[in-house]
Structure 1
Amino acid sequence: MSSPSLAARPFLSPERFAVSLMFLANGFLIGSWAPKIPEFAIRLDLDEGALGLMIMCFGIGSLCAMPLVGLLISRSGSRMPVLWLAAMTVTSLPLVTLAPSIWTAAIALFLFGGMIGGMDVAMNANAVEVEKRLDRAIMSSCHGFWSLGGVAGATLGGLLIAYFGVHVHALLASLLVVLALALAWPRLLADPPPVHPDHTSPNMTAAPRPGLLTAGATVWLTGIICLIMMTPEGAVLDWGALYLRQELAASPALSGLAFGAFSAAMALMRFLGDLVRDRLGAVRTFQISATLAMIGLGAAGLAPSAEWAVAGFAVAGLGLANTVPIAFSAAGNLPGLPQGMAISIVTFMGYSGLLFAPSVIGFIAEHTGFAPIYLAIPVFIAIALAFSGLMRHADRVAS
């Protein structure tokens, strides 16, 4: 008798539990890095410009690793890349903490970014496979666990550093990741590598190969959508507080709520997003979410006071929460390309927006202020909205 399908298993299957843990661990490590930055800068005597270049090493490492891991997934499946990259991330915080010089710290951050970015591609690919087997959306809640991990890592990290120092913090944070990895290792879904149409087994009928040009155009368009929808997160993270302080005369405490309200709303909606998507479908959910994001960012740009801007950022967080998870699910189901390569392209483009768009925004804002920036971003979101039909691939179910 054949084993039961995942669709017959409980709502929180072992496979869903395991991949959610990997998202939690990945977010936890990034969150744990944030409170280390001041000590890192002081220890290596870095000014703001030098620190910015060091942090860029993390982003470059991530972007370099993503296509390589995508190629690996297309050949061997996602399970082992997730697990081995997660195992390697255990060394990341100690390496950064112990780096004795600027050059060794730059290398440590490059490797840290590479492990985190590569793991990001692999765990998203694994989540797509679990969605297919469960016949149920899980991607938004996985990203919700990533957000939760980031908050937990930053909060716990600040406390541990304050009371025990950076070395104890790095050790304890790494041990928590080891615990998550130990729980996930036997439960993570073992997905086989994709069967290409020209390499079918004798018992399989070769499916027609979609045109590679068409498949390539679709995956790049999906990547552009992801880039557009991740750019506002960087815009609020890096510039929201400054906008409230400089242009709306907010107090330091109130200005800190810019990203706080945005990220809290995003995390909440990500845990609700799978239920919404299962009920409305990926395209309709994306359209409603993108519209909310446009309204929220527009309201923040037009806000007469800091309080109204914070409310606008919260609405934008509700809207943006599920757009990127839906885009990742769609990329994992695109016909004509191996899943790992499609997700790596979309992830690469999305994180490019998150990492580099804030620098462009800062340059433009020197001449225009930030309010026009937050009014202009919805125009780009409207472009993504025009191509929202591509999100239908997120609803594909494996046969």
Structure 2
Amino acid sequence: MPLLNKPRTATSGAYGGDPAPRSLIRLRTALTVFFALDGFLFAGWVVRIPAIKQQTGASASDLGLALLGVSAGAVVTMTLTGRLCRRFGSHPVTVAAGTLMSLSIALPAQAHSASSLGLVLLVFGVAYGGINVAMNSAAVDLVTALRRPVMPSFHAAFSLGGMIGAGLGGLVAAGLSPAAHLLALTVVGLLVTAVAGPTLLRHPAPVSAPASVSAPASVSARASVSAPAGPAARPSGRTRRLVVLFGVIALCTAYGEGALADWGALHLEQDLNAHPGVAAAGYSLFALAMTAGRLTGTALLERLGQTRTLVLGGATAAVGMLLGALAPTAWLALLGFAVTGLGLANIFPVAVGRAGALAGPAGVATASTLGYGGMLLGPPAIGFLADWFSLPVALTTVAGLAGAAALIGYAARKSAS
């Protein structure tokens, strides 16, 4: 069954006879801005990790433990954000988390030891976890209302924001201190939240009923703009297992995003003697490739379907990361990063979107917790493996998990169809 099989009109979609296409467009624009802001702020932090590492005098394992603060704060928050979204709505939670993330981005530059860095990253992790679950919950509802598989476009905005944030970070790395850079990001984040936030606060999110297992994610649920009703029916055991399965797929691929974000620049600079600007460009190139892949994600899903998209993406990312980790020169490693970005581009949004279609906000929260848990727990794991073996060897685990995601997606093709 194709993902797009009926024309849209001014009154079609979740709103029935109420013509509100402009409201949908405004919501989509504002939500896209928050996805881009999330990527922009996160990338601005990660490109300064080498400087923060030097500032705190942390070893690779010490830095890994400090980064665990982001992981702990985010994962704990993600388990609660689904409930917050059900009680207050995903839009207010998105705005609140965006404000907190903008404020907390300035804190790492004030740390002068690995332990203090871990504490401030705990606050950053709380904000990061909250905004990602809230945004994805809002996006799933909007995808249902639009009746098109546009979930990759939101994640393309995240990647585009990451590319811009990393690119600007690379440009200012040599001439601007981490404290000044991250404080500037706080100002930008608060301004963007003040501009885009009111749109989300004025318009409630479309409320969708959980989809049946056999229905496509983009057209499977009915939606309305009424306030949230009572508690949704408890998903069946099979549905819960499928949600967890998609969460594991998201985890396998998000592990690679986190690893490249936190360790890619250090690998290029430390192992391949790349200039700091070139090292910072590594994550920017990775984000650019992910952006390109996600901008074409809707067309890819309509043409290939979910299973082929997952399998092809996982296999491509595995090959690309082997090149990125083991290449003897920085330029070959950069090529590997780009191929990895193309491969990973659509796996996470497909997995989270499918989980949301199956079980609503609870499904998004579960899959996001697993997925972003992989993104945030991956970097500390890479740090320990780098100490025990080497950073290039540690980065090959990204290829292994990407291949595992492809295998799981293929094995689950009948259950998830």
State the TM-score, normalizing by the size of structure 1: 0.77
- 1:182 maps to 2:194: yes
1:116/1:231 CA distance change after superposition, 3 Å: closer
Residue pairs, 1:1-399, within 5 angstroms: 4=11, 9=21, 13-98=25-110, 105-157=117-169, 159=171, 162-163=174-175, 165-188=177-200, 189-191=203-205, 210-211=235-236, 213-234=237-258, 236=260, 252=274, 256=279, 261-297=285-321, 310-335=334-359, 339-354=360-375, 355-356=377-378, 357-359=381-383, 362=386, 365=389, 369=393, 376-377=400-401, 379-389=403-413
Please tell me whether the aligned partners of residues 162 and 287 of structure 2 are also in contact (alpha carbons under 8 angstroms): no
CA distance in 1, matches of 2:251, 2:170: 31
Cα shift readout 1:76-117 (whole Å, capped 9, x = no counterpart): 331111011112223113334445776654332211111011
What secondary structure sits across from 2:141 in the alignment? Answer: helix
Please tell me whether the aligned partners of residues 156 and 291 of structure 2 are also in contact (alpha carbons under 8 angstroms): yes
Q: What amino acid is the match of 1:122?
A: A
Report the Cα offset of residue 159 of structure 1: 4.7
- Residues paired across the two proteins, number: 379
CA distance in 1, matches of 2:328, 2:114: 44
Structure 2 gap segments, 5+ residues each: 1-9, 15-19, 211-225
What secondary structure sits across from 1:252 in the alignment? Answer: coil
Q: What amino acid is the match of 2:88?
A: S
Larger Rg: 1
1:368/1:21 CA distance change after superposition, 3 Å: closer
Cα shift readout 1:190-216 (whole Å, capped 9, x = no counterpart): 2266779xxxx9xx9x998652x2222
CA distance in 2, matches of 1:181, 1:304: 43
Report the Cα offset of residue 303 of structure 1: 7.3
Please tell me whether the aligned partners of residues 94 and 131 of structure 2 are also in contact (alpha carbons under 8 angstroms): yes
Q: What amino acid is the match of 1:347?
A: S
Please tell me whether the aligned partners of residues 18 and 187 of structure 1 are also in contact (alpha carbons under 8 angstroms): yes
CA distance in 1, matches of 2:154, 2:254: 16
Q: What amino acid is the match of 1:191?
A: A
State the TM-score, normalizing by the size of structure 2: 0.74
Bigger mean CA deviation after superposition, 356-365 or 129-138: 356-365
Q: What amino acid is the match of 1:321?
A: A
Report the Cα offset of residue 146 of structure 1: 1.2
Please tell me whether the aligned partners of residues 325 and 392 of structure 2 are also in contact (alpha carbons under 8 angstroms): no
Report the Cα offset of residue 185 of structure 1: 1.9
Please tell me whether the aligned partners of residues 13 and 145 of structure 2 are also in contact (alpha carbons under 8 angstroms): yes
1:106/1:267 CA distance change after superposition, 3 Å: same
CA distance in 1, matches of 2:335, 2:77: 37
Structure-1 residue corresponding to 2:5: none
- Over the matched positions of the two proteins, sequence identity in percent amounts to 32
